Homo-oligomer: A and B are copies of this chain.
Amino acid sequence: LPAVTPPDYPGFVRTIIEEGIKIVETAGNNPAKVMPFFKEAGVKVIHKCTSVRHSLKAESIGCDAVSVDGFECGGHPGEDDVPNFILLPRAAEELKIPFVASGGMADGRSLVAAMALGAEGMNMGTRFIATKDAPVHQNVKDALVAASELDTRLIMRPLRNTERVLNNAGVAKIIEKEKQLGAGVKFEDIINEVAGVYPKVMKDGDMEAGAWSCGMVAGLIHDVPTVKELIDRIMREADQIISKRLAGAVRA
């Protein structure tokens, strides 16, 4: 992914292996370059993909699994705009390796639906930010609880680097500039509302600073439990949906 200051990827890979991490999620670029190091060290690689063709590519370069990420996701949904209701069963048709569902995942309903559509499980991003354990400012958690499913925006589409973010005053500025400048908008035009925003939002709790990734799933987030409470609840809900709601629908 484009970055103002490119992260030290080789250092990340070295540290992951040295520290004995067993599973790594890669995203954005094709992870082919780092695959040999992870494979050699016995680290499993899950690559996040927003399309069937990228998922097949991940399978072909030796990834162990894919995290299939629909249009509803926070962060970068790609440019195809295919939601999980279509993308997950398409992945199930094409992939030989297992996959989990990303984007829009919040609760027991999401988990059972994702599994029905062919996923082996689900991957939550935004939902985990609204937990007691998440090391972010309380304002961020409050903003997720307050947000509806209509409160995210897509930015940077003209740059072919589309990102889904929570709407705020900084994001409104970005959208206004994109409207004014049309296809001619450049990264430099919106840099103040995009670069260096995370510390301001996540540490300082300045909720109007600019763009930070947030899924539509914010509309399904109504509380801030601990991670343990959240996971226990999801498993309990999923059990109930399967054993009560769905089991009753099976014909004799």
Binding site for B on A (CB under 8 A): 52, 70-72, 80, 82-87, 89-90, 92-93, 103-104, 106-107, 109-110, 112-118, 149-150, 182, 216-217, 219-220, 235, 238-239, 241-243, 245-247, 249-251
Contact = CB atoms under 8 A, between A and B. Distances in A.
Contact of A89 (B71, B85, B109): B109
Copies of this chain present in the complex amount to 2
A86 B117 contact: no
A70 B82 CA distance: 12
A85 B112 contact: no
Contacts of A242: 242, 246-247, 249-250
Contacts of A220: 86, 89-90, 93
A85 B86 contact: no
Given A71-B71, A115-B249, A109 B92 contact: yes
A94 to B, nearest CB: 11
A113 B86 contact: no
15 contacts: A52-B149, A86-B216, A86-B217, A87-B149, A89-B220, A92-B109, A109-B117, A109-B118, A110-B117, A112-B113, A113-B114, A115-B245, A116-B116, A116-B246, A235-B251
A167 B92 CA distance: 25
Please indicate which of the listed interface residues A71, A83, A110, A250 has the most CB atoms of chain B within 10 Å of its own CB.
A83
A83 B104 contact: yes
Contacts of A239: 250-251
A111 to B, nearest CB: 8
A115 B247 CA distance: 11
Contacts of A106: 89
Contacts of A71: 71, 83
A250 B243 contact: yes
Nearest to A239: B250
A152 B175 CA distance: 25
Contacts of A113: 85, 112-114, 116-117
Contacts of A70: 83, 85
A245 B98 CA distance: 14
Contact of A83 (B84, B90, B246): B84
A106 B242 CA distance: 21
Contacts of A251: 235, 239
A83 B101 CA distance: 14
